[in-house]
Amino acid sequence: MHTKITTPENDRFLRACRSESVDCTPIWLMRQAGRYMPEYRALRDRYTILEMIRTPELAAEVTMQPLRSFDLDAAIIFADILTLLDELGLGLRFIEGEGPVFDQPVRTTGDLKRMEPRPPAESLAYTLDAIHCTLDKLENRIPLIGFSGAPYTLACYAIEGRGSRDFPSAKKVMYTDPELWDQLMGLLADQVGDYLVAQVEAGVHAVQLFDSWAGSLSPQDYTRYVMPYSQRVYAKVRACSDLPFIHFATGSAGILKEIHQAAGTVTGVDWRIRIEEARELIGPDVPVQGNLDPLALLGPEEEIKRQAGAVLDAVKGQAGHIFNLGHGIHKTTDPGKVKTLVDFVHAYSRRET
């Protein structure tokens, strides 16, 4: 049985996800709510990140902040991929200057047995409540996107206990202890799938699976050790809904075909590959999202327009393109440059239609 959603007044994003015609290219931006905005920093002076995420009214407020400043075609719920691991008992802390750290990493079968899986509708109820609150604030004007980290990226954090350049501990488990790897990835796939289903049931209009660290893998390793678990997530979501499912990984040019094959109805593309080459790899009829270098927003306005125009020119007005950055907005970005980009994408693509 598929969950039905109400079509928002501005449905450009949803139409592009289905490769339908649009009056201009839709745009939303990863990390569009966050540290580059003065309004967000004002809240961060009063609350920790986890307090903001776990307080539905605050999470909804942060989600709405960029929508008051920019003519974006979709909102994305303010949350973090790592709260799912925290709620499994790994003990998440954010350390200034270091980032997220887990006090209870998973490196043995005993560690795995200490994990405490619960239905995400219970363990992550605060994000589901934030979705309800945000939908009330949106008043059906634009779509709301839900998301989760993918099993591989979550497993990397769970095993390493923090971020890493090359994830040696995670890959060691992957290569040397296939039973532990399968158990951990299976548990995470089920949790992620159930979490996305719960977000769909809460009313989001689309979901995105972030596999932030999948680019660290060879195509062979991705296919063998990761793809089955992302497919498991996708199958859970498709069993309850046919809404757009975006699958995104950074540094993924070498495994883009595999990313597309694993999951999703829309494939996210980072800036390390030309978007027309990405479409050749995954198929010209597959909707794509991307792919401006986030740091282009640190340049002058004319350079931003030149680079954004090049992305739009490469797509050549074909249906099925959602404009986005190739990763999240950098924290030092001037909000005025974000407005320049959003307005330019709409205006330029409308002229080209």
The CA-based angle 236-242-245, given to 5 degrees, is 75
Identify whether 350 is a catalytic site residue.
Answer: no
Choosing from 73, 80, 211, 221, the catalytic residue is: 80
Identify whether 107 is a catalytic site residue.
Answer: no
Choosing from 44, 93, 162, 272, the catalytic residue is: 44
Choosing from 40, 152, 157, 222, the catalytic residue is: 157
Choosing from 35, 162, 272, 274, the catalytic residue is: 35
What is the 3 state secondary structure string of the chain?
Answer: CCCCCCCCCCCHHHHHHCCCCCCCCCECCCCCCCCCCHHHHHHHCCCCHHHHHHCHHHHHHHHHHHHHHCCCCCEECCCCCCHHHHHHHHCEEEECCCEEEECCCCCCHHHHHHCCCCCHHHHCHHHHHHHHHHHHHHCCCCCEEEEEECHHHHHHHHHHCECCCCCHHHHHHHHHCHHHHHHHHHHHHHHHHHHHHHHHHHCCCEEEEECCCHHHCCHHHHHHHHHHHHHHHHHHHHCCCCCCEEEECCCCHHHHHHHHHHCCCEEECCCCCCHHHHHHHHCCCCCEEEEECHHHHHCCHHHHHHHHHHHHHHHCCCCCEEEEECCCCCCCCCHHHHHHHHHHHHHHHHHHC
Choosing from 12, 31, 232, 279, the catalytic residue is: 31
Identify whether 15 is a catalytic site residue.
Answer: no
Identify whether 80 is a catalytic site residue.
Answer: yes
Identify whether 234 is a catalytic site residue.
Answer: no
Active site (catalytic) residues? 31, 35, 44, 80, 157
